[in-house]
């Protein structure tokens, strides 16, 4: 089996997320994801054996990136009000700068909270 290239994998994740955000699950085909990522369609099969796996991996990638952006290198020695302020600033900045990813990330968390 071929080794997976981290650059291609990130391109696939970003393409998957932007297609999900723009056009929904119906546009989440291997052909459209590959075209958006700028790679060969066959390469998608190397990284994801199914649509479900691609969707699950995209979700997990967003969750990890979201947590890294929010709490990565956070100074936990700060007083609680300063810590909360920093978390809110980071959250809002990410929502504004990374719209497709954070739309999926924040909406999935809202659904988890209210279900």
- The Cα angle at residue 86 between residues 61 and 112, in degrees rounded to 5: 45
Q: What is the pLDDT of residues 89-108, one digit of tens each?
A: 888 887 777 655 555 555 55
Q: What is the pLDDT of residues 30-55, one digit of tens each?
A: 999 999 999 999 888 888 888 888 88
How much is the pLDDT for 79?
94
Q: Look up residue 80 and give its DSSP letter.
A: H
The mean pLDDT value of the chain amounts to 79
CATH number, span 6-114:
1.10.357.10
How much is the pLDDT for 38?
94
- Torsion of the alpha carbons at 1, 11, 102 and 52, rounded to the nearest 10: -40
> What are the domain boundaries of the chain?
6-114
Banded pLDDT at 114 (limits 50, 70, 90): very low
Banded pLDDT at 80 (limits 50, 70, 90): very high
* Contact status, residue 28 vs residue 51, Cβ threshold 8 Å: yes
Mean pLDDT of 71-77: 86
């Amino acid at each position: 089996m071929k080794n997976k290239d981290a650059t291609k994998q990130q391109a696939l994740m970003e393409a998957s997320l932007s297609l999900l955000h723009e056009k929904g699950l119906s546009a989440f085909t291997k052909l459209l994801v590959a075209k958006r990522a700028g790679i060969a369609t066959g390469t998608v099969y190397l990284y994801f054996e199914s649509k479900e796996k691609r969707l699950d991996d995209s979700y997990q990638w967003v969750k990890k990136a979201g947590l890294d952006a929010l709490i990565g290198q956070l100074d936990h020695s700060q007083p609680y009000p300063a810590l909360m302020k920093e978390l809110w600033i980071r959250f809002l900045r990410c929502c504004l700068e990374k719209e497709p990813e954070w739309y999926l990330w924040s909406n999935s968390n809202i659904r988890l909270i209210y279900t």
